[in-house]
């Protein structure tokens, strides 16, 4: 169990915690960005202490599947991470991404600081105004509470399981979309 804030680490890195459906997808996208030093799949936003993946999948713990992104703000800003966030999942579907349905798959930004909250609110408003999506964005923006890393089998999932059906049919298209739209931000 980890409780986090956005105090820069001694090496100047910061964290962002984002929910955009299945954490395997979110992890795969953000791992490929310049300035991102670590992406960890986990859970936050719920009430159960030390939840397991099986518990999360029931939708009864209140947690969202998230990716906690450690990044160097001198290379990629929080606002730039959010640009990628808005365009690599559908933030207009409540508690759903594709065939993944339930509150654990909600679109959410769990901010680490007041500055991140302000940036997230503005970014959401700008993304809505830009008409990126036909429908209104329903992404929740809430303070990060207690964050729990997911089990080891969920870490680096896409890179370790590239031939698995979910990776081929769901994650590969997201990674291709990332490459097409954000080539300049890729490692």
Distance CA 35, CA 128 (A): 26
Burial of 48 (0-12, 13-18, 19+ CB in 10 A): middle
Catalytic residue among 22, 25, 57, 167: 22
Question: Would you call 57 a catalytic residue per the annotation?
Answer: no
Please tell me the distance from the alpha carbon of residue 8 to that of residue 13, in angstroms, as a whole number: 5
Q: Hey, CA dihedral for 186, 64, 112, 82, is it positive or negative?
A: positive
What H or E segment, with its residue span, contains residue 36? strand 36-44
Asked whether 71 and 7 are in contact (CB, 8 A), the reply is no
Q: Return phi, psi of residue 70, to 5°.
A: -95, 125
Contacts of 113 by beta carbon, 8 Å cutoff, 6+ apart: 5, 6
Catalytic residues: 22
């Amino acid at each position: 169990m980890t409780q986090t804030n956005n105090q820069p680490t001694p090496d100047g890195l910061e964290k962002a915690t984002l929910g955009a459906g299945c954490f395997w997808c979110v992890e795969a996208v953000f791992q490929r960005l310049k300035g991102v030093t670590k992406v960890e799949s986990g859970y936050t936003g719920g009430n159960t202490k030390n939840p397991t993946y099986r518990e999360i999948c029931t939708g009864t713990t209140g947690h969202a599947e998230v990716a906690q992104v450690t990044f160097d703000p001198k290379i990629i800003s929080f606002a730039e991470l959010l640009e990628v966030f808005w365009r690599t999942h559908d933030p207009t579907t409540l508690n759903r991404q594709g065939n993944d349905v339930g509150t654990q798959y909600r679109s959410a930004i769990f901010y680490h600081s007041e500055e991140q909250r302000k940036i997230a609110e503005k970014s959401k408003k700008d993304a809505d105004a830009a008409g990126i999506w036909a429908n209104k964005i329903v992404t929740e923006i809430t303070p990060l509470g207690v964050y729990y890393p997911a089990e080891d089998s969920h870490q680096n999932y896409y890179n370790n399981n590239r031939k698995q059906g979910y990776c081929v049919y769901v994650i590969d298209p997201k990674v291709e979309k990332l490459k097409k739209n954000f080539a300049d931000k890729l490692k």
